Structure 1
C-alpha cells in the first residue's frame, strides 16, 4: 500500500514538473524555423507579425526562396549576430517582398518595397543592420511602416 502511495506521489510530481516546464518553441511547418512574435511601432499604431527566425548562414541563404505565398501577418526575420551592411537579392524567390532593413538600435533604416521576384539585382541596406524583416510585397505601405519606426523583438535589445 505504501509503495502505491509513493508511486502515485511520484507520478503527480512528474506531471507537475512537466506542466511547469517551458513550452517547446513553435516552428514553421514549411521551413522548420522557430516562430517568434515581432511588433513594428508605426505612426498608425503597432503592427504584429509572426516571423520565422533565420539566424545562421544556411537559413539566411535559403530565406523565403521557393515560397508561393506569404500570409499578411507572417514574415521572416534575418538575424545578424554582428552588425553589417546587408544586401539581398530575389534569386529563386517567387513572390514580391518588402525588405525592411533594421538598424542596430531597432529602428527601420530603409525599405525596399514590392521587390521583383527572381531578380539578381542587389538590394542594400542604407547602414549597419542587426536584422532584416521580409514581409509580403506592398504590406509595409498598407500598414504605414516607414523609416524611423521602431521594431520590437529580442534581437534589438
Structure 2
C-alpha cells in the first residue's frame, strides 16, 4: 500500500513545475503560467485554444539565451509575445500578434535581441502594463530559477 501511495505522490509532483501553482510577476501584476520547458511543450504552446484567462499566460524556457522567433500557427487568440534575457529583463516585445490559420504560412515574430525566456499573454497586456525594455520578470513558486 505504501508503494502505491508513494507512486501516486511522485506522479502528482512530476508536473509541479508546470502545475497551476506556477506564477510570474511583471510590472506588479501576477500571472499564473503554464511552463513550456522542453521541445514538445514549446512547439505546442497555446495552439488550438479558444481563450486565455486574463490573469494567465505561458512561459517558455529555453536552454540558452539566443535569438528567438515565435509564430502563431494554429493559435486562435491574439497574444503579446515578450522576450527576456538570462537576467529576466525584457529585451523585445511583439504586441497584439494576431491569430493565424495559415499553417506553415504563418509569419515569424522574432526577438530584437537574444532571449532565454518568452512570456505569452493576452494581446493588450503589454500596453496595459506600459511595458518598456528592461522590465524585470520575477519568477514565483514552481519555476526553475536557473
Residue number in structure 2 paired with 1:128: 114
For the Cα contact (< 8 Å) 1:97–1:134, is it kept in 2? yes
Give the unaligned 5+ runs of structure 2.
none
Q: TM-score normalised to the size of structure 1? A: 0.74
Q: Which has the higher relative contact order, 1 or 2, with Cα contacts under 8 A spaced 6 or more apart?
A: 2
Question: Equivalents in 2 of 1:142, 1:50: separation in Å?
Answer: 17
- Pairs aligned (count): 130
Q: TM-score normalised to the size of structure 2? A: 0.79
Give the unaligned 5+ runs of structure 1.
1-13, 28-32
The structure with the larger Rg is 1
Residue number in structure 2 paired with 1:34: 19
In 2 relative to 1, CA 71–26 (structure 1 residues): closer, same or farther, beyond 3 Å?
farther
RMSD in angstroms over aligned alpha carbons? 2.5
1:80 maps onto 2:65 in alignment: no
Question: Equivalents in 2 of 1:151, 1:26: separation in Å?
Answer: 25
**What's the offset of the Cα at 1:104?**
1.1
